[in-house]
Amino acid sequence: MHPHNLSFLQQGDSIMPSDTITLTDERTGKTYTLPIEDGTVRSMDLRKIRTDDADFGLMAYDPAFVNTASCRSSITYLDGERGILEYRGYPIETLAEHCSFLEVAYLLVFGDLPNETELKAWANEITCRTMLHENIGKFMEGFRYDAHPMSMLVSSIAALSTLYPDAKEVRDPVNRLHQTKRLIAKVPSIAAMCYRHAVGFPYVYPDNDLSYTENLMNMMWKMVEPKYAANPVLARALDVLFILHADHEQNCSTNTMRSVGSSMADPYLAVSAAAAALSGSLHGGANEQVLRMLEEIGSKDRVPAYIERVKNGEVKLMGFGHRVYKNYDPRAKIIKWTAEQVFRVTGRNPKLDIALELERIALEDEYFIERKLYPNVDFYSGIIYQAMGFKPEFFTVLFAIPRTVGWLAQWDEMHRDPEQKIARPRQIYTGERQRPFVPMQERHAVLTAKQ
């Protein structure tokens, strides 16, 4: 062994000698042996690599967390190269075919599928919490008539925090479960209010006779009929879409949920922050942008010209590409199938032909092949939602409802993980230091000069 070898392995450690990596620091000539566990090295082990005692130690630099695992998780398995997605070990295709959304929510929260009695009790626990405090309705009245539904959703979920001060006890697992049930129950009620506010109709109270998705449809679309009857095909399609959107491991909004939650913020504030992250056009907001893009393209014959604009870097092909999937997004496949079911009821959305043509041309084009760009979950979901009667600005809200379950499961997992602490990345400081202070009368107009 090299005389300077500073092995971080202690005697008796169970890691096999081969599960290590040896690095040589050419600055000092020292070599270091770092353990490799689950295909990772610990960033904190790098800290021990120093030029001298005054050196802070090596850090990992990873803007946008492209190659950094931030946690251990047993919720969602994703293999982006092979296009595999599993919740708690069950393939997404199986869950979408056989389960209801609340059944999958139970699986994500508790780790196992419920039996019949457990599912009944769970559905009841959620259903009996769907009612909102009247203050939320008054709070919503303050929004302008044309407020974006996602902004209303984010603000109103945060406002729930004012009603449930008990939610601050985030270290208590029983309390966390209680708040989890409340949020899963109340987010659809808020979402429906955002919709009713936008169209100027009175809010509709939940109907506990109905399933989770039927009740959402009821709260959005019930007019003067005494009892709302949801179309079963559309309700099932919504259930499937919700299952597909329920979790997706450490994406931008889930990372936000964990990050905000790590400061011990209450779950209403953390879910609100996660929903804010979801609203962006590169994340959940992409489904709205796909529809805007299809509207802009207008017809199938204009697809090649649009593809050229994408390749020239003028625009992005919304609903295409993914940080993790370098293969067809398995959710997009199921959504395409669901679209066919929905169109049998609603009639075919003509935008589907434009989308199919975009996909066909893109999948044959070198630009997309080289970069492994495939349709993602947002590519087809908006077309279905529009056929069902939702407006594009509401699409991301329909993403946020089921993702709330994933956020909460991940939040609970974070609180149970003894390795987790307040999230706090490092930086490489690139600014100036120790500048001499310049009195006001001697300063130049810096900003105007820079503009």
* 319 touches ligand CMC (CB under 6 A): yes
Contact 6, 48 (CB under 8 A): yes
- For 86, residues 6+ apart whose C-beta sits below 8 A from its C-beta are 76, 77, 78, 92
Least Cβ distance, residue 19 to ligand CMC (angstroms): 29
Structure tokens, 109: 């929260």
Task: Select which of 322, 329, 412, 415 is catalytic.
Answer: 322
Dihedral pair phi/psi, residue 35, rounded to 5°: -70, 145
According to the binding rule CB under 6 A, does residue 196 interact with ligand CMC?
Answer: no
Q: Which two tokens stand for residue 174?
A: 């029983």
Among 378, 393, 412, 413, binds ligand CMC (CB under 6 A): 378
User: Quick one: which of 216, 286, 291, 354 contacts ligand CMC (CB under 6 A)?
Assistant: 286
Mark 289-318 with x for binding to ligand CMC (rule: CB under 6 A) and - for no binding: ---------------------x-----xxx
Chain centroid to CA 134: how far?
Answer: 29
Which amino acid, one-letter code, is at 260? V
Establish if 206 lies at the interface with ligand CMC (CB under 6 A): no
103 contacts 114 by C-beta, under 8 angstroms: yes
Q: How far is the CB of 198 from ligand CMC (least distance, A)?
A: 22
Nearer to ligand CMC, 319 or 330 (CB): 319
Q: Would you count residue 348 as binding ligand CMC (CB under 6 A)?
A: no
Q: Which is nearer to ligand CMC, 204 or 277 (CB)?
A: 277
* Partner residues linked to 87 by β-bridges: 76, 90
Residue 283 within binding range of ligand CMC, rule CB under 6 A? yes
Active site residue 322: yes
Contact status: 338 vs ligand CMC (CB under 6 A): no
- Give the whole-angstrom CA distance, residue 65 versus residue 414: 18
With 0-12 CB in 10 A as exposed, 13-18 as middle and 19+ as buried, what is 246?
buried
* Residue 371 interacts with ligand CMC (CB under 6 A): yes or no: yes
**377 lies in the site for ligand CMC, by CB under 6 A:** yes
Q: Which of 113, 117, 74 is nearest to 94 (CA)?
A: 113
Smallest separation (angstroms) from ligand CMC to the CB of 243: 15
Binding of ligand CMC at residue 250 (CB under 6 A)? Answer: no
How far is residue 132's CA from residue 206's CA, in Å, rounded to a whole number? 9
User: Which spans of this chain sit near ligand CMC (rule: CB under 6 A)?
Assistant: 251, 282-284, 286, 310, 316-323, 371, 373, 376-378
